[in-house]
């Protein structure tokens, strides 16, 4: 099970060099080998980033596209709220990143990302860190 962080989805959507690794996860999902998750905070971050960079119409298109990819959306419940609060209380993460990391933790998923702020969680959250590969 993999939880796609915002940077992983953006890498895929913007066809960055590491997009191929994200594509491999989609292919494995299509074969039934893995489950892909996305945090509701990821949906929020993608929308506001896309609105600010490309406008409302592109953001709406991105949301529709994201929702056709067959990724399970992870919305908050009490377990997620408590785990997020604990991670946030330790410092070093934004509220959005704490929600994303907590989602991976409670679902026992590997967090796919490019973000250095998640490095501090390497002993508690399994992660697959994408690199900015030469393209």
Is 84 part of any domain? yes
Is 112 part of any domain? yes
Closest-CA residue to 8 (of 110, 27, 91, 21): 21
pLDDT in tens, 24-78: 999 999 999 999 998 888 788 878 888 999 999 988 888 888 788 888 999 999 9
The count of structural domains within the chain is 1
CATH number at residue 45: 3.40.50.1010
Is 135 part of any domain? no
Is 134 part of any domain? no
Of 5-14, 83-92, 103-112, which gets the smallest average pLDDT?
Answer: 5-14
- Domain span at residue 85 reads 2-129
Query: pTM of the prediction?
Result: 0.81
Which tokens go with 18? 């590491």
């Amino acid at each position: 099970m993999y939880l796609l962080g915002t940077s992983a989805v953006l890498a895929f959507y913007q066809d960055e060099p590491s997009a191929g690794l994200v594509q491999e996860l989609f292919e494995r999902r299509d074969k039934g080998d893995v489950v892909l998750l996305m945090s509701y905070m990821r949906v929020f971050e993608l929308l506001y980033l896309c609105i600010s960079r490309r406008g409302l119409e592109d953001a709406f298109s991105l949301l529709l596209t994201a929702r056709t990819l067959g990724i399970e959306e992870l919305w908050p419940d009490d377990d997620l709220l408590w785990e997020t609060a604990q991670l946030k209380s330790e410092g070093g993460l934004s509220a959005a990143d704490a929600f994303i990391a907590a989602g991976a933790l409670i679902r026992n998923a590997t967090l796919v990302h490019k973000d250095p702020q998640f490095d501090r969680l390497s002993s508690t959250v399994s992660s697959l860190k994408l690199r900015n590969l030469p393209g």
